[in-house]
Amino acid sequence: MSASTPKWLLFAIASGACAALNGVFAKLTTTHLTTAWAESLSHIFGLSGPNKFFEFLVRGLFFVLNLVFNGIMWGLFTRALTLATSTTRVSVINTSANFMITAVLGLLIFSETLPGLWLLGAAMLVAGSVIIGRREEGKETGNAGTAGAEPTVVAPDSPQSTPFADEPDAPLHGHGRDEDSGFKDTHSTHELENTDRVWSS
């Protein structure tokens, strides 16, 4: 494994390949090609003529392989999603690999032809993958450029310097003590005046 190749890319391609094999085994479960293969295998094992039981056994084997590769595909795809930073890129790579490998296996196993329309679709799929990949890289670069900026936090004013708007009757800081001192001084003056009047009488 190359150090420059991200792991999620390998998992995404592998999951696409397993999806392609999943489709091949699913098709072999129902196609007439499996009947011919079962007859050839029956002759190899010394069975005379077509054997339906052996054919069902071969089809059942392909069905089991279909389920196995389906589970492997989902496991690899989930692993690729956990390693990658973009789920879109994983989905695009997975779909592209599945599309390409399915076409190659269809050509080799089922002798399917690849028309010009298929080639056009494959070219558009590759171009779309490149465009989406570059757009995601641009977003990651922009996020990395703004990641180091520190947020500006505005500290609230101190409650000692700002009067309470919901308590209009509350005295200002230090004002209550001045009123208490004035009240005590006035009270002391009245007591002295009363004392002088008593002594004068």
Give the pair of three-digit tokens for residue 89: 């890129």
pLDDT digits (tens, 9 = 90+) for 110-157: 888 888 888 888 888 878 877 877 777 667 666 655 555 555 555 555
| DSSP assigned state of 50 | -
- What is the sign of the dihedral through the CA atoms of 123, 126, 131 and 132? positive
CA 71/CA 76 separation, integer angstroms:
9
Task: Give the start-to-end residue ranges of the domains of the chain.
Answer: 7-141
- pTM greater than 0.75: no
Average pLDDT, the chain: 76
CA 187/CA 193 separation, integer angstroms:
10
Say whether pLDDT at 173 is over 70: no
| Least confident span in 11-20, 90-99, 177-186, 188-197 | 177-186
The mean per-residue pLDDT over the stretch 72-90 comes to 92
Asked if 84 and 132 touch (Cβ cutoff 8 Å), the reply is: no
| Least confident span in 11-15, 35-39, 64-68, 193-197 | 193-197
